Amino acid sequence: MPPATGRWLVLGAEGLLGSALATVASADPRIRAVHRAGRAQADITRTAETERLLRAVRPDVVVNAAVFTGVGPCEADPARAYEVNAVGARRVARACADAGARCVYISTDYVFDGTGPGPYDETAPPRPLLTYGLSKLAGEHETLNASPGHLVVRTAALFGPPPPGERRRAGFVEQILGRAAAGRRADVIDTLVMSPTYTADLARMVVELLAADADGGPYHVTNEGSATWYGLAHAVVSGLGLGALPRPATPGAGTAGPARPAATPLTSVRLPPRVRRLNRPWRDALAEFLREHGPDALAAARSAPPLPDAP
């Protein structure tokens, strides 16, 4: 097994999670070098480009955080969803196996149907309802088929500092802050339950998982506890002392698109104790995020489009 603490390559490094992973890994003295690749450096739908990058970087670890995301966009363009999330994942995972690198495929709670009983651990059988989750489950299989030493990290409802750059997608928290900053109250779904997760905490746990030389296969990595999207939005807006608190909504009251999984909180029975020790309740993680990044996130949010699209 290659040293997990050697050279890292982060794909999707300009995204919400990829940027946090690259930042946390770069600050870890056990990791020798971190190479960040956005879509311009490696489009994972292009085989030659992906393989060329791996040959040039010669990584020990490749974190695949590149994704075609959003429930609506994936339903509208399933071919693209599969091309990036499944076939792209195969390309990356096979190139890693050929190069002797460990691949970490980031996946989602939406591989579960949300009918419970939750919370879901790694032994629960996946049953995605939507193209997004179906394409991600296919990506999981492709990754683990390429090598049993590869890892799948399922996570959920991410919040964190917005990545720099023009091309970034506005995250849920930014969208909520955008409304609140404009003095508008958002109607947010109060029926879907998930595990809110701070990107910095997730990144630290992924680094530790690799440093622990954890066995291959799936891992659930989220902050502790669960909330509805409304609960998360309320905690964000009230945590920053903004007046325009969100209102709880139910599907049908101003929401469109296919039904999403109802309750997908995650828990883990596989995380090594040294990784588990780094975890904390999501409200504690959110408080730290708002303390350290709240004002910047608020500023970035003012230009975000006002459409919550929770992955």
Ligand X SMILES: NC(=O)c1ccc[n+]([C@@H]2O[C@H](COP(=O)([O-])OP(=O)(O)OC[C@H]3O[C@@H](n4cnc5c(N)ncnc54)[C@H](OP(=O)(O)O)[C@@H]3O)[C@@H](O)[C@H]2O)c1
Minimum distance from residue 290 beta carbon to ligand X (Å): 17
Minimum distance from residue 12 beta carbon to ligand X (Å): 3
Minimum distance from residue 34 beta carbon to ligand X (Å): 16
Applying CB under 6 A, the site for ligand X has a residue count of 30
Q: Which residues contact residue 204 at a Cβ distance below 8 angstroms, ignoring those fewer than 6 apart?
A: 24, 278
CB 305 within 8 Å of CB 255: no
Amino acid of residue 298: L
Residues 156-195 that bind ligand X (CB under 6 A): 156-158, 167, 169
Measured distance CA(195)–CA(211) in Å, rounded: 24
Q: Residue 64: which H helix or E strand, with range?
A: strand 61-64
Which is nearer to ligand X, 3 or 41 (by Cβ)? Answer: 41
Which is nearer to ligand X, 28 or 83 (by Cβ)? Answer: 83
303 by Cβ neighbours in 10 Å (0-12 / 13-18 / 19+) ranks as: exposed
| Residue 222 touches ligand X, criterion: CB under 6 A | no
Burial 253-287 (b: 16+ CB within 10 A, else e): eeeeeeebbbbbbbbbebbbeebeeebeebbebbe
Please identify which residue in 4, 5, 9, 18 interacts with ligand X, judged by CB under 6 A: 18
**In a 3-state reduction of DSSP, which class is residue 264?**
coil
Measured distance CA(21)–CA(41) in Å, rounded: 17
Please identify which residue in 4, 5, 10, 12 interacts with ligand X, judged by CB under 6 A: 12
Residues 25-64 that bind ligand X (CB under 6 A): 38-39, 42-45
Catalytic residue, candidates 132, 198, 219, 230: 132
Minimum distance from residue 222 beta carbon to ligand X (Å): 9
105 flagged as catalytic: no
Instruction: Enumerate the active-site residues.
Output: 132
Which residues of this protein are in contact with ligand X, per CB under 6 A? 11-12, 14-18, 38-39, 42-45, 65-69, 84, 88, 106, 108, 136, 155-158, 167, 169, 311
